[in-house]
Copies of this chain bind each other. A is one copy, B any other.
Amino acid sequence: MPKLWNETIQAHRSQVRDAILDTTAALVFERGLRSVTMAQIAEGAGIGRATLYKYFSDVDAILHAWHHRQIADHLAQLGVVREQVGEPGARLEAVLAAYARIVHKTRHGHESDIGRFLHRDEHLAEPQRQLHELITGLVADAAQAGELRGDIPPGELAAYCLHALDAAGALPSQAAVGRLVTVILSGLRPAS
């Protein structure tokens, strides 16, 4: 049964890849961005160096892959949040709050170093576009339901939300993040 065999190989490769990414992130968090070597990563992931080089050519490539996996995880989390809530306005609020928590968490501590290091990563345009599309859809639904202002194109309101939510990265506490989401949402209310 070659198909099953292929799937087993695929699953194994995916596990090894995940182990490499997890090990690298842990090493970077422990020792800093610039002091981690391919040899340490291979040892930490429990594989040979030759095997490691079959997956990734260098530490930078691993960090990029790790960052992409993080972003894909975040988008998936927001997708789950979106499905859990019924009303358009509440759904938008839940997704914005979840995204604010992600921004707050990833800009504090170690992830922010890697984020800054990878800032010029051009592959991030596509997930950014997906995120903008997700929020635009939620805004359009809520505007159609009369729950927020309908006088401004949803895409512009989504850009406003995403940029304003970036402020969560500089805020000192979860409480401040909650207040930020409140302010952003009042900006979206119908003009009185």
Q: Mark A98-132, 1 if CB is under 8 A from B, else 0.
A: 00000000000000000000011000000000000
Partner of A156, one of B119, B120, B149, B180: B180
Number of copies: 2
Contacts of A186 in B (CB 8 A): 186-187, 189, 191
Task: Decide: B171 and A167 in contact? CB cutoff 8 A.
Answer: no
Q: Does A162 contact B (CB under 8 A)?
A: yes
Interface of A is mostly: helix
In angstroms, Cα B162 to Cα A166, docked, is 10
- Could you mark each residue 151-192 of chain A with 1 if its beta carbon is under 8 Å from any beta carbon of chain B, else 0? 011001101101111110011000010011011111111011
Bin the interface of chain A by size: 20 to 34
- Whether B187 and A152, one on each chain, are in contact in the complex, defined by CB atoms closer than 8 angstroms, is no
**Cβ-closest 9 pairs across A and B:** A187-B187, A164-B164, A163-B167, A159-B167, A183-B187, A163-B166, A152-B179, A186-B187, A160-B167
- Chain A positions within 8 Å of B, measured between CB atoms, are 119-120, 149, 152-153, 156-157, 159-160, 162-167, 170-171, 176, 179-180, 182-189, 191-192
